[in-house]
Chains A and B, each alone.
Chain A
């Protein structure tokens, strides 16, 4: 049995009056890639954003339940979301590099969190870019604007930026949805490479992608967690009717 990195229990979430997450129980295994799949509106992105308390930005959101990370319930008032986000990084659906240089982008998290001396900054930036398969392509242009990169490169830059501060968990919200197949393949390759070092949770619309990269898959529908298990089992031998219907493509 895998070691659990995040234990979610009795999680409920309301957008105003509307309930978006119903009684979620989920154990995210450490060092693996867990995929959240399900049709549009099932709550997978909503669930993902609970894990780094991004919903704090929305005053209409009410959450209850437990999300336990390192024996602390991060939903509790004592947890500082700013510190939490040091540990739990996020890559967004659309690449969002800052309008700064490539180097400044990667170094941003290091600077804002005072994680290393100025003298070590360049080395860390290089390491993150190497780890993200981006170094060779940008090593001569580190001071150029990050906005000049292609979509796929920008997304890899965002990953480099996220891993530079060495979080424990990386959340990926449909990171490839705006990318072409080749860029997508590169990102997937990157995710597989980062296994073990980071715990990754990816929201994806693409069932093939889930099967390619994820060790575990959680299927959600209308705000509920329907089934969770090893990816192979979910896709080849789903226990729930609903899961079977979804993975066989009867609805999307």
Chain B
């Protein structure tokens, strides 16, 4: 009888913990939606800010976030996949490759503000890009690089040995087997990792802080060498630095909701891709 009670208590504790987590998430979402949804409209999403940001929309911020995140992914993905393919398929198990792996793990733990400072020093300053979409894209790309490498390696690991051997047994060279069989098989896993990295990058503020984001730009950036607006930074300014904080609070909430919506959309896409992959495997 005692054991049954203990089991019941254990289960009850775990359920309570889960409910607490769900409740917190629910409260946050509810709060955001209640305070932000009223301000969301087609106009809000497609117009520029007006009257000192107190009215109008956040189109430039959506555009800027999208542009920078896309650029960072375009830069980081080929680099990350190439690195992962080398590490997993070619690198012998020696001190050097173990060092590389350790470095990647450490890079994953570097605080994003440090990436931001690095970006200023190297991209903005040394390479002369100035504060721009390009500099911010490079910096953000660096931030997401370790995670792309790791998820690509895992996707490669999930391709069974037998599949590779099958390709080789038909007279394929190692590179041919990777190019025509292993990589295509790993694409869903790689894609999931890239999309998740994308969604994480979209919400980052620190890397873009000194490398190109601006509180207000008159026009949308015409090239990658210009400054841009971004959702997380816009949210920060509206919430803390604006001269009429109370007045723009609803807009801040709406911005947060938009950013969240973007991130959720990306994550859902990633999970959908992964689900289709699992289904296709069976």
Q: Chain A interface (Cβ within 8 Å of chain B)?
A: 52, 54, 57, 59, 82-83, 85-86, 89-90, 92, 94, 96-100, 108-109, 112-113, 145, 147, 158, 161-162, 165
Judged by a CB distance under 8 angstroms, whether B261 is at the interface is no
Q: Chain B interface (Cβ within 8 Å of chain A)?
A: 92, 160, 162-163, 165-173, 176, 180-181, 184-185, 280-282
Query: Would B168 and A92 count as touching, CB distance under 8 A?
Result: no
CA distance A100 to B159 in the complex (A): 13
Query: Would B162 and A94 count as touching, CB distance under 8 A?
Result: yes
Query: Would A52 and B169 count as touching, CB distance under 8 A?
Result: yes
Chain B residues touching A, majority SS: helix
A83, A92, A99, A113: most-surrounded residue (chain B CB, <10 A): A99
Query: Would B185 and A98 count as touching, CB distance under 8 A?
Result: yes
Query: Would A100 and B171 count as touching, CB distance under 8 A?
Result: no
Question: Can you list 24 A-B contacts (CB < 8 A)?
Answer: A52-B169, A82-B172, A83-B171, A85-B170, A90-B165, A90-B169, A92-B166, A92-B169, A96-B162, A96-B166, A98-B163, A98-B166, A98-B167, A98-B185, A99-B280, A108-B167, A109-B170, A109-B171, A112-B170, A112-B172, A112-B180, A113-B170, A161-B170, A162-B169
Query: Would A99 and B170 count as touching, CB distance under 8 A?
Result: no
Q: Cβ of A147: which chain B residues have Cβ within 8 Å of it?
A: 280-282
**Candidates A54, A89, A112, A145; contact of B165 at CB < 8 Å:** A54
Query: Would A96 and B160 count as touching, CB distance under 8 A?
Result: yes
Shortest CB distance B156–A (Å):
14
CA distance A92 to B172 in the complex (A): 16
CA distance A112 to B176 in the complex (A): 8
Query: Would B180 and A96 count as touching, CB distance under 8 A?
Result: no
Contacts A57-B165, A99-B184, A99-B185 given; indicate if A165 touches B280 (C-beta within 8 A).
no
Query: Would A92 and B280 count as touching, CB distance under 8 A?
Result: no
Contacts A98-B181, A99-B280, A145-B280 given; indicate if A158 touches B166 (C-beta within 8 A).
yes
Q: Cβ of A59: which chain B residues have Cβ within 8 Å of it?
A: 92
CA distance A89 to B167 in the complex (A): 11
**Candidates A85, A94, A100; contact of B169 at CB < 8 Å:** A85
Shortest CB distance A86–B (Å):
4
Q: Cβ of B282: which chain A residues have Cβ within 8 Å of it?
A: 147
Contacts A94-B162, A147-B282 given; indicate if A100 touches B173 (C-beta within 8 A).
no
Query: Would B168 and A162 count as touching, CB distance under 8 A?
Result: no
Q: Cβ of A161: which chain B residues have Cβ within 8 Å of it?
A: 166, 170
CA distance A112 to B175 in the complex (A): 11
Q: Cβ of B185: which chain A residues have Cβ within 8 Å of it?
A: 98-99
Q: Cβ of B181: which chain A residues have Cβ within 8 Å of it?
A: 98, 108
User: Which residue of B has the minimal Cβ distance to A111?
Assistant: B180
Query: Would A96 and B171 count as touching, CB distance under 8 A?
Result: no
CA distance A108 to B170 in the complex (A): 8
Query: Would B170 and A165 count as touching, CB distance under 8 A?
Result: yes
User: Which residue of B has the minimal Cβ distance to A97?
Assistant: B166
CA distance A57 to B173 in the complex (A): 12
CA distance A100 to B183 in the complex (A): 12
User: Which residue of B has the minimal Cβ distance to A112?
Assistant: B172
